[in-house]
Amino acid sequence: MGKIEDLKVINGEGYQLSTLEKVIASARANSMWPLPFATSCCGIEYMATMGSNYDLARFGMERMSFSPRQADLLIVAGTISKKLGPVLRQVYEQMAEPKWVLSVGACASSGGIFDTYSVLQGIDRVIPVDVYVPGCPPRPEQIIDGIMKIHDMARNEPLRRRYSDEYKALLNQYNIEGHE
Ligand code: SF4
């Protein structure tokens, strides 16, 4: 859903002014291509979120990307086993910057009820997460709320954040290389 007021546009006769940073941030927020990394029941809930009742197309997000290089929002929905951790990390690394991560449900966020030797106790052990959605499973409304929080982050993110020392330090914690 476009939010033209976020562009902080100055209108005049025959012209509109804003900043390049605001225009780019708004374009990013309103044209996200999600990559659903769905492994179990939360993935089914995400499918419901995609359906006509909840209609992710209203955000311009109906185009799923199963190619990491053509995606900028990684949606992790479901139980992630420790064996799958490196695969998830590889998918994340293959996505181009800027990219965001939404952790959907208790399993992806903390291992959920599966406090066992085989289940990753939260995807933030292998990749950085931007927004966590609670629930087992979360309702589609909660998933949409999480997506809208990601949109807000994208809309308000400074253009150079991905080159900042703070962001590099975050990636360093995961031994992931960022921009030079
Ligand atoms: S959080 Fe609950 S609904 Fe979601 S994948 Fe885990 S067990 Fe299934």
pLDDT one-digit tens code per residue, 138-156: 999 999 999 999 999 999 9
**Each residue's pLDDT tens digit, 28-63:** 999 999 999 999 999 999 999 999 999 999 998 988
Q: Which of 107, 116, 119, 120 to mutate to test the pocket of ligand 1 (most atoms within 8 A of CB)?
A: 107
Residue whose CB lies within 8 A of the most ligand 1 atoms, among 41, 75, 76, for a mutation test: 41
Using the mean position of ligand 1's atoms as its centre, give its distance from the Cα of residue 139 in Å: 11
**107 Cβ inside 6 Å of ligand 1:** yes
pLDDT higher than 50, residue 1: no
Instruction: Decide: 42 in ligand 1 pocket, CB within 6 A.
Output: yes
Task: Give the per-residue pLDDT at 3.
Answer: 55
Query: Which residue CA neighbors atom 3 of ligand 1 most closely?
Result: 137
- Ligand 1 close to Cβ of residue 106 (< 6 A): yes
Domains of the chain in sequence order: 33-173 (3.40.50.12280)
Report in angstroms the alpha-carbon separations of 97 from 63, 159, 160, 170: 19, 11, 11, 14
* pLDDT tens string 55-77: 999 998 988 999 999 999 999 99
- Tell me: pLDDT of 8 over 80: no
Q: Is 41 in the pocket of ligand 1 (CB under 6 A)?
A: yes
Query: Closest Cα to atom 7, ligand 1: which residue?
Result: 136
The residue whose CA has the least distance to atom 2 of ligand 1 is: 136
Q: Is the pLDDT of residue 4 over 70?
A: no
Assess whether the C-beta atom of 96 lies below 6 angstroms from ligand 1: no
Q: Which atom of ligand 1 is nearest to the CA of 79?
A: 5
pLDDT for position 172: 95
